[in-house]
Structure 1
């Protein structure tokens, strides 16, 4: 699958429309949170890892966002959402829903018309978050408070 600038442009527009201060970093392509943190020169904790999940029963997608240093607890998220058939979206589904290749999905489910759930690990790690913004070669650094204000995610503790 080829990268598409559509999501990157939507993120830039969202941030600019809301007068959000952010830094854009263009870098070599990264696939993992660890690679991204290294190329950005920031802590792994500050990475906003976004995972697209699908409820197999309803076919609906959700976006789970957490500190990149944490792991999603399948047991916890399934219990919290009362959903036994919750799975990670495959590469094709990720692209269809977000217009992003895996590793480039930003923490804004709202631009995909998907509910965003946020684990508190991203808030407690510090004031700034970092994430790939639709492209594996483009990262954004912004305030966690600004992120919370414009995305307004549902906060649930679903990481171990």
Structure 2
């Protein structure tokens, strides 16, 4: 069960969280619509390659990643989106594309878009396409120790 690794970690650290089950959805915007949670409040995890290393870029569902800005703010020489083939084996306990933004559990650096930290809570995939976890952003930040940068912009309707 994909959720177990994450919930065990949260429980060991005495973190308060709730699990939200929803109908099958494969992208963050659809999850937002299905769960009636605003897209700005759902975090999506995008796997990127920064100078050849895999990393997580975490941003609101209603935003898009700006790779040029991420490259500039990290000081990287090369940056790009990782293909599913490059990272699928890194998350053996997760459904492909449903990785939680806990890079510390997968030996990956985590970059969080500053647009995501404006809310008190963070909501994200829990390793499946039918489960979310909602928890305090402060707890997430304490456990993951992400680098907070400006690298996203709101999607226009």
Tell me the TM-score normalized by structure 2: 0.89
Q: Offset at 1:72?
A: 0.8
The residue aligned with 2:25 is 30
Identify which of 147, 150, 153 aligns with 1:154. 147
Residue from 1, 14, 17 that aligns with 2:9:
14
> Which of residues 91, 101, 105 in structure 2 aligns to 1:98?
91
Kept after mapping to 2: 8 A contact 1:91/1:101: no
The equivalent residue for 1:79 is: 72
* Count of matched residue pairs: 152
How many angstroms does 1:131 deviate by? 0.8
Q: Answer yes or no: is 1:132 the counterpart of 2:125.
A: yes
Which residue is 2:43 aligned to?
A: 48
User: Is 1:122 aligned with 2:116?
Assistant: yes
In the superposition, the TM-score normalised over structure 1's length comes to 0.87
Residues 106 and 131 in structure 1, CA contact (< 8 A), matched pair in contact too: yes
Write the distance in 1 (CA, Å) between the matches of 2:97 and 2:41.
Answer: 16
Following superposition, the deviation at residue 82 of structure 1 comes to 2.7
More strand by share: 2
Shift of 1:84: 3.7
Structure 1 runs (4+) greater than 6 angstroms displaced: none
Q: Which consecutive residues of structure 2, in runs of 5 or more, have no partner in the other structure? A: none
